[in-house]
Structure 1
């Protein structure tokens, strides 16, 4: 067996911990994962906690499984990635006091008060994100509901930082995850003493900021015992999941990227910290120094397809398996004309960070007297088209914010699990009028972390490739998509208002959100549509 070294990536995701060993030629040598969930916090609706003890045990199990599979092959360096927004507070001895994942929603009241005080405006202007699910409101919640925790806290870190701290005992952060706290000054790519003071925390608890690829420390004997990694192995700064996915596939400015998984992110890389004056999309630091990422998030687009599969395609799952069932679904959807015969799936709304109200999920416009035109394939196509409309809305805003730079190439890269479909990439091409280049690389986030680990030891992993297709928009479908997109905007506006009026639970309502403002085509898009 070859003794050539590998680099190891650890990803603390929303639903699981994963470990990935990558050879210095870019090939994946071993992988392992452990699923986890985040327990509800009793007495606090929407609250979820991150169990640091149990979840570290799962991380360590996954890493040990990979190390065992390497059978003595050396690990040259380790880097970590994680979900964004979640964070950990530690005491003076480095013990975890409090931790939450990105899904924690306890701080609704505190977020609203930040809005009422005008503090949310300043946070967005400096930090590029709203207070709905970021650290300022959560820290206010801790100060009010668990003041003894904040009094004892001596260190603060994001969840990827937590992995590094568990491995090395060092407290650090990087700009990609650190900026998701909304406590960063984006221009400085570092913590903002002003925002820390505004929230009411001691800036001294905020860790040093290192750029991705810098060495944070080395694996301690305790971490070596837990994971099987050799003590002294260099631990390298990684970062946030979406940014590392972009780094993994080698995204460049001028070609926007959609990362399609459970949630979808429509992103553009820029060379300055662009702040949306209308507070629609958010901005975070990207991996490379001097780079930032503007992002629109689509809620649960991938999950909606899985729901359809599990409820309406049980027969296909039994015959073809869970993955093969998606092929069956898209075969049926491909036979349906653009616009889904007028059926509109009401799922995710276009992002409006400070007023991001979603409707209750619904299907609008089907005819129960016409099962031939409104069969299962029509519902599948309507779900895929609904995701494509959100991508179109986000791309229009990205073009506006970047003076057209985000669409300069006329292409759109589509990565993540959803990009592996046969139909979905074509629908996005037709909805946006752009050529879609798919990148179906598995575990792009972990590969991006591995690239940083390799760089720290003087090696260079190439951007991940494989599975690429180029899908040009079809002229007749583009025209039909324009009409269907305008219908979706109107239906969604009506449905979100009806959801509120009827008191029905929406897909999502933002903590600290302002009054609902309907999504609309931007001035640029109106010009394009009207000629």
Structure 2
């Protein structure tokens, strides 16, 4: 059983900040803290100084604990990081390279070599970056994922990696082992890769030095975490088979739950593994709210949303990629964003972009249906885009299915739930998460609006197929799958 009288800490190592939440087993937020991070971007290069992560964590954790009731016991903590962010360390866990961030693109040739061995990796995944780092810094070092470095500081010992972060480093979640033959063919040095455990596994406890720096009591259990996308999924409560969480931030990520992996020969959809052995399929698109910021950097979103309501649907149709290349619901490195038609003014262009993200989200769900993924559970909206009531209802109408909006959707909440699950050692993660997650709103689609968006959606699907990005079979299924019955997923 989860200790009802304890507080649980979740740590989220983001791109722009470190966030820490202190919550109870019923989801009451007792404290929160954050500290900013900065990185270096130059072309395909994106890196950070990993020492800054620890400094930011110390600031954020002290802020989160500062408002805790006196004498509150801390039951445990877990850490999530950006998926695919890695660095090299020495034998004691000290960094010897900068951290190559999740979207660093310098290892494209190494990724091609890995794919030649049969590994389904993408250019920005951790395994190609590990090979690139070895080429730059030489053998004899150890690879660390972003949370591994923080856990080393918290416990005083380099930990095994969690299998969620290890996925993009080539770890075989089905066999729960590194693909030794492929790694040998790639020339991966001995001892480069860490041991791996399932999320929720106890890694150690807060050491005295870390307690002094962070304010977290010495002896607090530290549990293996998951990637930020999986953490956000836990925070949404979407852990029952058939449930899905749509995270709309700068880009769009869909994460679901299934009893078995969702097989995708193209590698567009990949599967994390939950601590209980079930599967968390999903994919990450390059479409998202970042397109709004790019077109309207000074706009007031609430004002623009109100004006956009007059254009349902817009006369124009957009595929609003935030950056070149698409990863989900199709793989097209050469893809670029586009607008079909001519929006009459800024308000209609805003509407076109909002609807375009909704159409891309619908196509993602259609692709999951095409693969046979279970879609019969609830859909949850999280991420920064979910702060817009208008956009939430618009997306619900475009998708033709109900959507839930939780009160608190931070990945740090998901890590607090995972820590509580790991320490309790009993029950299901879904049970623990559903107790912590509080649903604020449930939106219902309006059937007449869903029908209204069918024609522009079909136009977008046609355009993607004509460009050679969307396979014909996927396009056919997207055009013919019904979306008019709100009771059908």
Please classify the TM superposition score into its range, dividing by the shorter chain length: 0.7 to 0.9
- Return the TM-score normalized by structure 1: 0.80
Paired residue for 2:52? 54
1:488 aligns with 2:460: yes
RMSD: 2.7
Paired residue for 1:140? 131
Within 1, Cα distance between the matches of 2:398 and 2:329? 20
CA spacing shift, 1:92–1:344, aligned 2, 3 Å: closer
> What's the CA shift for 1:365?
1.5
Residue in structure 1 matching 2:119, options 123, 144, 161? 123
Paired residue for 1:415? 382
Within 1, Cα distance between the matches of 2:178 and 2:458? 42
> What's the CA shift for 1:65?
2.1
Q: C-alpha offsets along residues 359-386 of structure 1, whole Å, 9 cap, x if unaligned?
A: 1x4544226xxxxxx2332112111111
Residue in structure 1 matching 2:315, options 332, 335, 341? 341
Structure 1 contact 214–456 (Cα < 8 Å) conserved: yes
Within 2, Cα distance between the matches of 1:353 and 1:346? 14
Counterpart of 1:37 in 2: which secondary structure? coil
Structure 2 contact 382–409 (Cα < 8 Å) conserved: no
> What's the CA shift for 1:254?
1.4
Structure 1 contact 396–525 (Cα < 8 Å) conserved: yes
Paired residue for 2:410? 444
> What's the CA shift for 1:527?
3.7
Within 2, Cα distance between the matches of 1:166 and 1:108? 31
Structure 1 contact 441–465 (Cα < 8 Å) conserved: yes
Counterpart of 1:20 in 2: which secondary structure? strand
> What's the CA shift for 1:114?
4.1
Paired residue for 1:528? 481
Paired residue for 2:257? 269
Residue in structure 2 matching 1:66, options 64, 67, 92? 64
Unaligned stretches of 5+ residues in structure 2: 426-431, 485-489
Within 1, Cα distance between the matches of 2:32 and 2:227? 19
Within 2, Cα distance between the matches of 1:262 and 1:451? 25
Structure 1 contact 417–440 (Cα < 8 Å) conserved: no
Within 2, Cα distance between the matches of 1:112 and 1:175? 23
Counterpart of 1:525 in 2: which secondary structure? helix
> What's the CA shift for 1:213?
2.0
Paired residue for 1:385? 355
> What's the CA shift for 1:84?
0.5
Structure 2 contact 83–227 (Cα < 8 Å) conserved: yes
Q: C-alpha offsets along residues 443-488 of structure 1, whole Å, 9 cap, x if unaligned?
A: 431111101212233394614113222222423x333322101222
1:32 aligns with 2:33: yes
1:464 aligns with 2:437: yes
Counterpart of 2:203 in 1: which secondary structure? strand
Structure 1 contact 268–294 (Cα < 8 Å) conserved: yes
Q: Which has the higher helix share?
A: 1
- Return the TM-score normalized by structure 2: 0.87
1:331 aligns with 2:306: yes
Paired residue for 2:487? none
1:87 aligns with 2:59: no
Unaligned stretches of 5+ residues in structure 1: 125-129, 314-324, 368-373, 498-515
Paired residue for 1:284? 271
Structure 1 contact 18–33 (Cα < 8 Å) conserved: yes
Within 1, Cα distance between the matches of 2:424 and 2:319? 49
Within 1, Cα distance between the matches of 2:374 and 2:382? 17
Structure 1 contact 179–186 (Cα < 8 Å) conserved: yes
Residue correspondence of structure 1 range 102-121 to structure 2 within 5 A: 102-115=102-115, 118-119=116-117
Paired residue for 1:371? none
